[in-house]
């Protein structure tokens, strides 16, 4: 490795470490919170569950999506504290709101980690009412990193009473035979297969066959990334069980299941005179605008 590449590597590591420190501070100051996005049942039109999407409010009031800071922390191998917090916060929400189902995402680094799984089993022990309303989403790439270990992980989750979804299906190299090994309840097809589906006849034929095969394993299917009415209609026509995307509902900090304007200041740790953050709001800043840039 030449000197330039070494400097880039070290600069990236320094930046990732700074991001990690920033997020740890936000966690300690109750500035990490959820936005909730509905996953809607095609048959009934009702929300089956809300996916919990992590957000951070920085010291200047900017709302930062989890995608901006989770990947750098994963690259450091220090994502565990976020996954622990997400689990704790999700279980707390479920206990507080007994009529809602919630889904959480976990990192590929955590998916087969013993301590996180032990924490989940401990939290849900003697709480079947909470467990049956929890959906754990694991990415396709995480599941494939060690298929046998992932199968044991999924089996433990289901024995604990949770539902399990295989997320971002199609972006990795999962074959249908892997679904024989992974006893998941739901397969979430990546949005890249769904966007502009109405205009792509070849992709619709491919998805039609794929969904038929997935249903043969007893799995429900979710179309991710449904952004407009045309793609919603196409996804419905091709046989998806559930739909998710901005057309069905954008992520919001409002607890929609409680009714309009239900979020309390105590629950969110900031005053109610601030509007619900819109993920596309101009105040939402990428993390690189808040931290020192890597050396080049």
Cα–Cα–Cα angle for 101, 209, 140, nearest 5°?
Answer: 50
Cα-based angle 35, 86, 272 (whole degrees, multiple of 5): 40
- Each residue of 99-123: pLDDT tens digit? 999 999 988 778 767 899 999 999 9
Burial class, 260, CB count within 10 angstroms (exposed 0-12 / middle 13-18 / buried 19+):
exposed
* pLDDT given for residue 274 in this prediction: 32
Question: H or E stretch including 11?
Answer: helix 3-28
pLDDT at 279 over 90: no
Rounded distance, CA 223 to CA 225, Å? 7
Region of poorest pLDDT, from 14-23, 136-145, 232-241, 263-272: 263-272
Q: Which is more confident, 26 or 148? A: 26
Mean pLDDT in the chain? 83
Is the predicted pLDDT of residue 154 greater than 60, yes or no?
Answer: yes
Q: Tell me what pLDDT residue 151 has.
A: 87
Between 232 and 150, name the one with better pLDDT: 232
22 or 172, greater pLDDT? 22
- Domain positions in the chain: 3-289
Task: Specify the range with the lowest mean pLDDT, choosing from 17-21, 49-53, 73-77, 93-97.
Answer: 73-77
CATH number for the domain whose boundaries are 3-289: 3.20.20.450
Confidence of residue 16 (pLDDT cuts 50, 70, 90): confident
Q: What confidence score (pLDDT) does residue 263 get?
A: 38
Region 51-70 average pLDDT: 93
Name the pLDDT band for 32 (thresholds 50, 70, 90).
very high
Residues 252-273, mean pLDDT to the nearest whole number: 54
Q: Which among 30, 29, 52 has a CA at the least distance from the CA of 39?
A: 52
**pTM score, whole prediction:** 0.83
pLDDT at residue 197, as a whole number = 93
Provide the phi-psi class of 42: left if phi over 0, else alpha when psi is between -120 and 50, else beta: alpha
Lowest mean per-residue pLDDT among 38-47, 87-96, 133-142: 133-142
pLDDT reading at 186 higher than 50: yes
Say which DSSP state 46 is in: S
For 265, counting Cβ atoms within 10 Å of its Cβ (0-12 exposed, 13-18 middle, 19+ buried), the class is exposed
Q: Tell me: pLDDT of 265 over 70.
A: no
For 189-237, how does the pLDDT look when each residue is reduced to its tens digit (9 = 90+)? 999 999 999 999 999 998 998 899 899 999 999 999 999 999 999 999 9
Answer whether residue 262 shows pLDDT above 70. no
> How much of the chain, in percent, has pLDDT values that exceed 70?
80
Split at pLDDT 50, 70, 90, the class of 143 is low
């Amino acid at each position: 490795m030449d000197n330039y590449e070494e400097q880039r590597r070290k600069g990236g590591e320094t930046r990732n470490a700074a991001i990690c420190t920033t997020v740890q501070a936000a966690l300690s100051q109750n500035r990490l919170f959820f936005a909730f996005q509905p996953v809607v049942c095609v048959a009934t039109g009702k929300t089956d569950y809300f996916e919990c999407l992590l957000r951070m409010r920085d010291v200047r009031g900017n709302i930062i999506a989890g995608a901006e800071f989770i990947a750098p922390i994963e690259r450091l191998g220090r994502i565990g504290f976020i996954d622990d917090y997400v689990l704790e916060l999700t279980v707390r929400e479920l206990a507080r709101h007994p009529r809602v189902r919630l889904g959480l995402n976990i990192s590929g680094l955590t998916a087969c980690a013993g301590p996180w799984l032990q924490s989940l089993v401990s939290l849900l022990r003697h709480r079947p009412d909470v467990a049956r309303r929890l959906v754990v989403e694991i990415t396709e790439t995480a599941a494939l990193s060690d298929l046998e270990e992932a199968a044991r992980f999924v089996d433990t989750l289901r024995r604990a009473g949770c539902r399990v979804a295989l997320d971002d299906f199609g972006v990795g190299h999962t074959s249908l035979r892997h679904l024989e090994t992974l006893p998941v309840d739901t397969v979430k097809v990546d949005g890249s297969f769904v966007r502009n589906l109405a205009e792509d006849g070849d992709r619709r034929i491919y998805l039609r066959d794929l969904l038929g095969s997935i249903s043969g394993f007893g799995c429900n299917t979710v179309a991710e990334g449904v952004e407009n009415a045309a793609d919603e209609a196409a996804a419905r026509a091709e046989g998806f069980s559930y739909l998710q995307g901005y057309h069905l509902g954008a992520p919001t900090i409002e607890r929609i299941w409680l009714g309009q304007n239900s979020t309390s200041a105590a629950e969110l740790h900031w005053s109610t005179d601030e509007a619900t953050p819109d993920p596309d709001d101009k105040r939402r800043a990428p993390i690189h605008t808040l931290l020192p840039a890597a050396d080049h």
